[in-house]
A and B are shown apart, each in its own frame.
Chain A
Amino acid sequence: MSESADGVSRRTLLKAAGATLGAAAFAQALAPLASWADGISTEEFLAKHYKELTPTELTATLKRIEDDTKKKTGVDVKVTADAPMEGVKFGYALNLSICIGCRKCAEACHEENNHDARTNNSYIRVFEMDKGSIDFAKGSVDYVHPVPQEDKFYMPVQCQQSDNAPCVSVCPVEATWKEKDGIVVVDYDWCIGCRYCEAACPYHARRFNWHAPHVAAQDINPDQGYLSNRLRPQGVMEKCHFCLHRTRKGKLPACLEACPTGARVFGNLLDPDSEIRWVLKNKRVFVLKEELGTKPSFFYFFDE
């Protein structure tokens, strides 16, 4: 191997070129990590699981989320973390005889829960199906004609808050669990976005945030809950939480208030005098996909 006139061998030159290329490729590979770290504070990155937070840490966490939201969107929001109420297990029933498929529930959910505006996301899908059988494969969720159609019936589907929830069992990091009042919740700061729960749910009730939701500043609902409708980050799962930031304060869920026909009945399953117990006792009630053994807290019924 011959030395060149200025003393740089071919080997040295190739080595230097290789090292430069390698360094450039390494920097390029790390670039997304740097930009990802931009949006997430050190406190957020090192935060504990929701269930392990002490009251002081929880208060600090809620304050941190409020400040972050103010910084990102300019909106003053109030984030609460209401505990499950004593002696309460929530139940929801839906009257298929009077649901007209107006989708007001899905719209109210969209507005209440700070959903992505571009996809018009909602935790509720309203299926329009032929009378005579429940065939979701032939159902439509994006119909635009006036409702109700004579030969169709309408079936809103949302999280059934199962007592034996497959989505909870499959979560590898325990970022989703069932609370004492029956609500299955997600810790958005703990979720790793693997989407196992989305695959496990037989009701297609979970949604994945492919992007952080687009919500215009004036459309942000400032009444927020840590486990419910606070602004979700990119790459995490979300689902219906029975509006726990409302219902744990005694209020009705947003979808029920929006329902013009009164097809929706919400209440405490443990209270024998509640409306939901009257429905379970007196109506023809069924649960969706009973054969799977999920034991839903969501019921469907008919009038006569």
Chain B
Amino acid sequence: MGQRIVTVAATIVLSLGLVACQGHQDGASPTPFNAKAQAAKKKFPVKLRPRTAGPGSGIQTQLTDFQGKPIKAPCGSCHATKAESRRRKDGNSLKKFHNGLTLKHGNLTCLTCHNGDDYDTLRLADDTPVKFDKLMDLCGQCHGPQKRDYDNGSHGGMSGYWDLTKGPRTRNQCVHCHDPHAPAYVGVVPAPGPRDRFLKQPVAPSGAAAHP
């Protein structure tokens, strides 16, 4: 009997000790999250990073103005008088523009995305025109999982604020990384790695390795 009491007492002391051990880093427990207060706060916008290249602002004419800046022409200025070709898949057979443009994007044709009725816009499958500077919905028609991940913040680069009550955020669009005419991601040369203080000299990327 006495032995049993000792065993019970020892067990209690041990378990108390274990609880104390687990609480070792409990001083670091965070303050609770207040969902109502968070919802009431004003939120800053999430903006799309503007496109710097591409036909959104017209196509290069190879001509320059008196300041030496390249002159761009709106797509419609040529396409207004050109008949559309629904089957065309690349620009190499054309004589004046779009030479060298080979489409490596599934079995798509030019007019899968470009709007044959207004070449200064793109077009969704349901005929809705889409502007060149906001084409996430267009890509998302086929690339659903990627669009879903993008919408939930787990695909595509961003900068700015994680806490939108403190400041705005800017997000990349699909075409910042994926060329819409050949969307497979091309390789890059990585940024320099860590250098050992004693054993190794830094290895510079050379020749064939530097250029895929």
Give residues in A with beta carbon < 8 Å to B.
84-89, 93, 95, 98, 100-104, 106-107, 118-122, 125-126, 141-148, 163-165, 168-169, 177-182, 210, 247, 249-252, 256-257, 259-262, 265-268, 270-272, 275, 278-279, 282-283, 301, 303-304
Contact = CB atoms under 8 A, between A and B. Distances in A.
A116 to B, nearest CB: 9
B124 interface: no
B196 interface: yes
B32 to A, nearest CB: 6
A271 B30 CA distance: 12
Nearest to B33: A270
A148 B187 contact: yes
Contacts of B160: 251-252, 257
Given A142-B203, A169-B24, A87 B187 contact: no
B85 to A, nearest CB: 35
B137 interface: no
Contact of A262 (B32, B33, B158): B158
Interface of B: 24-25, 27-35, 38, 145, 149-150, 152-163, 165-167, 169, 172, 177, 185, 187-197, 200, 202-205, 209-212
A146 B212 contact: yes
13 contacts: A102-B188, A103-B193, A142-B203, A144-B190, A144-B193, A144-B203, A145-B205, A165-B25, A250-B161, A268-B162, A268-B163, A278-B154, A304-B145
B194 A122 contact: yes
Contacts of A275: 152-154
B162 A143 contact: no
Given A95-B155, A251-B167, 17 more contacts: A87-B32, A89-B30, A103-B191, A103-B192, A104-B191, A106-B194, A107-B191, A120-B194, A142-B195, A143-B193, A146-B210, A178-B25, A252-B161, A256-B158, A257-B160, A261-B156, A275-B152
A267 B161 CA distance: 10
Main secondary structure of the interface of B (DSSP, over half): loop
A101 B185 CA distance: 13
B177 A102 contact: no
Contacts of B204: 144
A259 B152 contact: no
A258 B134 CA distance: 22
Given A141-B193, A251-B162, A257-B159, A84 B30 contact: yes
Contact of B25 (A163, A260, A272, A279): A163
B192 A107 contact: yes
A93 B162 contact: no
Complex A-B, nearest 8 residue pairs according to Cβ-Cβ distance, in ascending order: A250-B166, A275-B153, A270-B33, A250-B163, A178-B28, A107-B191, A262-B156, A142-B193
